[in-house]
Structures are given as C-alpha cells and as structure tokens.
Structure 1
Amino acid sequence: MSTSITGLTASSASATGAIAKTDAQEIAGNFTQFLTLLTTQLKNQNPLDPLDTNQFTQQLVQYAGVEQQLKSNDRLDSILANAKASSAATATSFVGQTVTAEGTTADLKDGRATWNLNAPRAAKQATITISDAKGNVVATQTKALAAGSQTFAWDGRASSGFTSANGTYSIKVDAMDATGTRVLVDTKVSGTVDKVDLSGSEPVLIVGAASIKLSNVRSVGTGLSTSPN
C-alpha cells in the first residue's frame, strides 16, 4: 500500500512566515519609536521644570511592558511552532494504522460534505438533520437507508434554498424500519489511514474517501482494511 503525506506548499508557508515577520516588525517599530520619544523627552526637558517623577515612572513601566510583549510574542511563536511539529509527527505515525473515529462532524468544502453511516438493518424512513457549528439546523432530508455501511453526501444546500458557507457541520440520524422500530445508525468511521493532510490548522487523516480530524480519533489498532466500514 502506497502512502503519502500532503503538507503546506512552499508558497503558503512563505506567506505565513511573511505575515509573522511583518507583525514582529510592526511591534518592534512601535517599541523603537516609543524608546526614541522617551529619550528625546529626557534630553529636551526644561531644567527648571523637569519631568514629573510619577510621569517618568509610568513611562518606564510602559517601556518595560512593550519590551515584555516582544519577548512574550517570541516565546509564543516558538511554543506554537513546537506544538505544530509535535502534532504533525503524531499524525504521520497513524499512516498504515487502523483507526476508529467519531463521524458526526464533517467539513463542507467546495459544495460537498460526506458522512459514513452504518445501519444494522434497513430503515424505511430516516430523517437526517444537519446543523452548523453553533447548533443551528440548516438542512433536513428524509430518505430510506439500506442495511450496512453507506456514504451520505450533502451538497451544502440549506432548507432555505441558499448555499451554506464552508465550515464544520454535524449530522443526526433518526431512523425507523418497516415495523416502526427505531434503527440506531452509527456514524463512526473505521479504516486504515492511507495518508495525512497537514495543510490545515489541524492534521487530517485520510481513510479511503473519508477525512478524519486527528482530535476525533477514538481508538487505534492494526489491520488490513483500507476503506471505512
């Protein structure tokens, strides 16, 4: 089985570094400007009416605060970089492993979001409710479900007729069989990790056609299956 890892492109990584560098330059520029103003004020103060001690102390406190902010930003950037590196290293170790993950949420991107549904028996009627990240219901569909594993795809069309914005959405399935008995439809995803996508803010494991966020993984094992079930 061939495996691969999708990472940040050189251009996106360069752009991210450029933004961070620009932010640091702005803070450093403000810090330098503040220091220049303070020293200029001290050099040009009236000897007969020197700068008030309380005012001078407040300005020194501000000076120390700006300096501390610069150091804190550097440390936070370092911590964030280490955390991302650690998360990426953890994610890549999942390649070839069989994982089981919560599958109630999926990302809507380019007009498509997919979920893996597993019904223990056929459902004559299943009401599928899709909600946004805030818990607001955006779409409802009613359909029959076959027994076993199947994929449900949503095109992003809301009940209002408008197309929903890209983002994370959750699914809820209420199903009944021909006798009116409730069918518990499982939305968990299981399968062997084929590759890892590191292009987003959180590593995403690719299992067949399913995309699983690293934080949604609930168990890890070994196996030969390469498709969700």
Structure 2
Amino acid sequence: MGVVSSINESLDNTRVGSAASPQNIKKKASDDIQNNFLTLLLTQMKNQDPTNPMQNNELTTQLAQISTVQGVEKLNETVGNLTGQLNENQKLTAAKLVGQGVMIEGNKISLFEKQNAQATASNEVIATPFGFELIGAADKVVLEIKDKAGNVLKTVEMAQGLKPDVYRYEWDGSDTAGNKQPAGSYRFSVSAYSQQGQVPVKPLNYALVNGVSNGPQGILLDVGLDNSISLEEIRQVL
C-alpha cells in the first residue's frame, strides 16, 4: 500500500513540534541531519504525485538510512569514550614503571662493579640481565657473549625444549675459562633451532625506566641514552 498525502495540505511546518528548550545548548550532528531529513521527507510526501505515491519500501529505506547515521555517530562516541579511558589507564601504568627495570629488544650487556662496604674486600662484578623472546618452539637455544671487538667470551647452550615465551639469563661476568671480565659494555647474540630448522628469536636487554612523556607519538618511556620506547615494546617487567 502506498503512503498518500493530500497535495492541498498546508506546507507551513513551523507549527510542527515544540520550540527548542533553552537547556539544549548544543545539538549533535545526527540531530541536525535527522531534522533536515524529516523536513525533506515531509515536503516530498506533501508534494508527491497522487497517481504515483511513494511506496512503503521507499519510505522504509529512507528511514533506515537516517537510523544508520545515528547509529554510526553513537558508535563513534562510544569508541571515543573507550579510547579516552584506555589512554588514562596507559598513563597510570606507565607512571608505575618509573624506577623499574624492563626487558626490551636489544643485545647490550653492561658489566659494572658493585662497591663493597669493606674497603679491603674486592668489588663484586655484576652484569645486567639479558635474554630472548622465542617466536616459535625450539629444541636448542645458543647464547654467545662477546666483547667490544666481537670476540666470543662465552657460549651458553640451552638444549631443553623451549616454548614460545620470554626467557632471561644471568651472566656471572666470566668467560668460558672462568676468568672474570672487567667492567664495561658487552654484547650478545642468540640463535634458536628446532628439527625443522632455525626458529625466529629476538634478543632482549635490560633497561631502566627513568621517566614518562606524553607527546604526539603517544605515551613514551625514557630508558636513558636519549632512547624512548612505547609500552608495547616492553617484553618483561623485572
């Protein structure tokens, strides 16, 4: 059945609805679109050809279109609110990390002397932790600790079956022969293997979170040496 309206009906639509309340300070874009749409629809119905009136399916389609516009705006508003809440949660999480050690992608090791309380005792040498992130299961992982020149000081083989995860290794600062190495900067490499061949693996080194900044790139953590990272780059919190 078609929707029929008298063409002699008054086109004055200023009396339709009530005046806007003073409390409605700001309208949504969808409200304006809906009002304009309904005005045009009423005008179209009033001036339609009586011999060829608008069909019900046409009216339903147009009403569905305006409902879609309203639904999209509500969805955008909801997503915007969720994004704001997520940003606030990330700020709180980042602030709690200040002063803590984290594991991030890298292959550096720092070896330093810890001052002992007794002047007669030799200072203890401590290495920053390092490790790796396995992307797939591995039957064997090989770590090679190297000096600045690239010479291999120590090789560590982990032959047990390892699942995809983050692993950490503590170095005692000695080479393969047991000789203690001097304080300084070192590097390491990591390789992983399975029966099918080489397994993807990422080297991880230690970093200390010194501060947090919030800029155009989002929330960044200062880990020293003019290096900043995002929360997503942290593989483990120590």
Q: What TM-score, normalized by structure 1, do the two folds share?
A: 0.48
Determine which structure has more spread, i.e. the larger CA radius of gyration: 2
Q: What TM-score, normalized by structure 2, do the two folds share?
A: 0.46
Higher fraction of helix: 1
